[in-house]
Amino acid sequence: MDPAYLNKKIIDLSNEELITLGFLGENVAPGVKAMVEKVRADPVRLGTVTCFMVDCFKRRYSAQAPPQDAAEPLGSPTSPTSPTISEAETLYSQLSNDSDALTVVAPDLISKYEMNFWYHGISGNPPKLMWRSDLETNPFPTPPPGTRFFKIPAKTAHGVFGTPLNAVWDTVAPQILASMKAHGLKYSALSTARFSTVEDGKEETFGPVVVWIAVRPNTTNAGAVRDATPDILHILADAQITDVVVEWYEASVKRLVDTRVVAG
């Protein structure tokens, strides 16, 4: 999804914008459309629902295959087709033949493997991780050397509701943006998320609340975002928010075209 829309509220968008985002329209999954319509019908209780939250629901909804006897056409939003060999499997095969894939090679601060697979599962083309504040305390599972078959943990992104961070977000978010600017970082998106993870043979587990930051591609490096992280954690700590993780990735800013007709 367009990073510029991650934190925008559903109730603030036009029909044209919602259609362009894939939240309304003829080919949108019924559950997604129903969710958006409920939000717009009850702005008092549901007015804080953002595009990011709906997009997370959309990905989960679209990933559910219809019943075998359902008259759902192949390739519809609720029955995505899957290639015989996924892009993730192809990438894993390539990295398994790279002797440096599981080690940290400067100027990167994390391995190629973790960089490419940390967000595995959240979308068809997940972003690459640049840095995360819990790197030392929360190691990413990696395959033993020489392993040809290893099931990569799959993640799902969720919205953040009813946490202490929600109560202070309108205060700390501008401070975080100012801190990034002071460090010379050009951001694309600032949002919050929680990620659930499913590892092979284990039940789904939920991670901590994440302050999820996208920077513009080719404008900075892992060292710079790492060095900017302590100030962000300090801002959160001053607001009594301590059980969060800061994660960085790259994403472009793309503006949607406003298709509303202006009378001449």
Model confidence pLDDT, tens digit, residues 97-132: 455 555 555 656 788 888 888 898 888 788 899 999
Which of 75, 71, 48 minimizes the C-alpha distance to 62? 75
48, 9 contact by CB (below 8 A): yes
Q: Report whether 210 contacts 262 (CB < 8 A).
A: no
Give dist(CA 37, CA 118) in Å, integer: 33
- CA distances from residue 6 to 190, 212, 238 in whole angstroms, order as listed: 8, 11, 25
Given a contact cutoff of 8 angstroms between Cβ atoms, the answer to whether 258 and 20 are in contact is no
Q: Please say if the pLDDT value at position 2 is more than 80.
A: no
Q: What pLDDT score does 134 carry?
A: 94
User: Checking DSSP bridges between strand 205-215 and strand 244-250, what pairing results, if any?
Assistant: parallel
What pLDDT is stored for residue 145 in this prediction? Answer: 59
Buried b (16+ CB within 10 A) or exposed e, 221-234: ebebbbebbebbbe
Residue 143 has pLDDT above 90, yes or no: no
Strand order in the sheet with 187-198: 129-132, 244-250, 205-215, 187-198, 154-158
Please classify residue 184 by burial: count the beta carbons closer than 10 Å to its beta carbon, then call 0-12 exposed, 13-18 middle and 19+ buried: exposed
Pairwise CA distance, residues 110 & 125, whole Å = 19
Q: Is pLDDT at 160 greater than 50 in this prediction?
A: yes
pLDDT in tens, 196-237: 988 777 788 999 999 999 999 999 999 999 999 999 999 999
**Average pLDDT, rounded, for the chain:** 76
17-70 pLDDT, tens digit per residue, is 998 888 898 888 887 888 888 888 888 777 777 887 787 767 655 544 333 333
- In percent, how much of the chain has pLDDT > 70? 70
Residue 43, H or E segment: helix 43-46
Which of 109, 194, 117, 201 has the alpha carbon at shortest distance from 156? 194
Lowest mean pLDDT among 6-20, 96-110, 158-172, 235-249: 96-110
The domain segmentation of the chain, as residue ranges, is 1-66+73-80, 83-264
Partners of 249 in beta bridges: 129, 214
Q: For residue 73, what pLDDT band results from cuts at 50, 70 and 90? A: very low
In the chain, DSSP finds a helix count (H) and a strand count (E) of 8, 5
Question: Which residues, 6 or more positions from 97, have their beta carbon under 8 angstroms from its beta carbon?
Answer: none
CA distance to 13, 95, 109, 182, per residue, from 218 (Å): 30, 23, 16, 18
Is residue 196 within 8 Å of residue 206, measured between CB atoms?
A: yes
> How far is the C-alpha of 130 from the C-alpha of 195, rounded, in Å?
17
